[in-house]
Amino acid sequence: MPAERRQIQDTTAYLLLVVTAMCWAGNHVTGRWMAADTPPVPPGGLSVMRWLLAAAILLPFAWRGIVADWPALRQRAGSMIFLGLLGGAGFSFTQYYALRHTSVVNVGIMNSIGPAFIILAGMTIFRDRVRLPQLAGIAVSLAGVLVIILRGDPAVLASLGFNVGDLIALANMAIFAVYSACFRLRPAVTGMTFMTAMSVLAALGSVPVMAIELMTGEVIRPSGPTIFAVIYTGLFTSVIAYLAWNAGVARLGPQRAGAFLHLVPLFGALLSLLLLGEAPHPYHGVGLLLIVAGVTLAARPAQR
């Protein structure tokens, strides 16, 4: 492949991963908002609704491709079910349960462990090799995340409290790391076919959780915030973000793509500035420079 074409494809993947980070930052804010609603939106129910909406959006565009890709889907049905239940259902409702018990800031901290978890999953499951520039880039961007989270003051670390929600968020990132590392096992189908099948499987996989919630009296009640949450998580968090993430991972590999997860807490901080009216501070600029520098370093291709 000509070097110019490779560069164009890499740049496209970088842009798609930035879009993913923006969508998932909004998902953290939305999930926390729904957890604080009265009554709170059940995580399992929200997961079912978001993935059903995603499937409904994708199906008209993907139907012809699904028919053509059906033999490949059947051949790799086990891998498809595994990826759909893990990266769709499992990653979805555990994140919302985490946001019930902890803050968006703490989920951002756990999210920043994601790149390291992805590398660890690849090394453990597939014996992937890791390049030193990737490790250095992840370290630099993680430093930028910490600058923003600690507001430029290391003493803030002592005031951060951790609870069961943080443990759930940590498990949530481990789930996503295994999904990202195992994405190479996906059936040889188009991205649209894969996402539609994954959406259906994720919705079905979330049904048992919703059933338990119903038995304990937790029901999704129609309201303005609930409708907004379903639309945002279905369209942006599921369809747009996952299509972009999957394409980025397919092009760059899970290790290089994983570095872009450090943009999620950055965009979360920016959303706080925009939506909550917080004033920008110098530490935001320092954190931004470190994150961008680290992601750029980690995402660079190996020397050919």
Instruction: Determine contact, residues 267/22, Cβ cutoff 8 Å.
Output: yes
pLDDT in tens, 88-133: 999 999 999 998 887 777 777 777 778 888 888 888 899 988 888 8
| pLDDT above 60 for 276 | no
Mean pLDDT of 267-279: 69
Residue that wins the pLDDT comparison between 19 and 142: 19
Residue that wins the pLDDT comparison between 194 and 110: 194
Q: Which bin fits 220, alpha (ψ -120 to 50), beta or left (φ > 0)?
A: beta
Which of 182-191, 257-266, 291-300 tops mean pLDDT?
A: 182-191
Query: What length does the chain have?
Result: 304
The pLDDT-based confidence of 248 (bands split at 50, 70, 90) is very high
Instruction: Determine contact, residues 100/37, Cβ cutoff 8 Å.
Output: no
Look-up of token digits 């994140």: 95
The pLDDT-based confidence of 303 (bands split at 50, 70, 90) is low
The pLDDT-based confidence of 236 (bands split at 50, 70, 90) is very high
Residue 240: CA count within 13 A, CB half-sphere: 18
Please list, in sequence order, all residues whose beta carbon lies within 8 angstroms of the beta carbon of residue 275, skipping any fewer than 6 positions away.
29
Residue 120 forms part of a structural domain: yes
Question: Containing domain of residue 77, as a range?
Answer: 3-299
Mean pLDDT of 2-14: 86
Q: Which one-letter DSSP state was computed for residue 217? A: T
Look-up of token digits 């600029």: 285
Within 10 Å of residue 37's Cβ, how many Cβ atoms? 14
Residue 187 forms part of a structural domain: yes
pLDDT at 13: 94
pLDDT at 278: 54
At 104, the amino acid letter reads V
Residue that wins the pLDDT comparison between 126 and 281: 126
Instruction: Determine contact, residues 199/54, Cβ cutoff 8 Å.
Output: yes
Residue 99 forms part of a structural domain: yes
- Residue 170 has φ and ψ, to the nearest 5°, of -65, -45
Across the chain, mean pLDDT equals: 88
Mean pLDDT of 243-270: 88
pLDDT at 28: 86
Instruction: Determine contact, residues 118/259, Cβ cutoff 8 Å.
Output: no
pLDDT at 297: 80
Percent of the chain topping pLDDT 70: 94
pLDDT at 180: 95
Residue 304 forms part of a structural domain: no
What is the DSSP secondary-structure string of 39-100?
Answer: SPPPHHHHHHHHHHHHHHHHHHHHHHHHHHHHHHHHHTHHHHHHHIIIIIIIHHHHHHHHHH
Residue 293 forms part of a structural domain: yes
Please give the tally of structural domains in the chain: 1
The pLDDT-based confidence of 280 (bands split at 50, 70, 90) is low
Which of 74-83, 219-228, 287-296 tops mean pLDDT?
A: 74-83
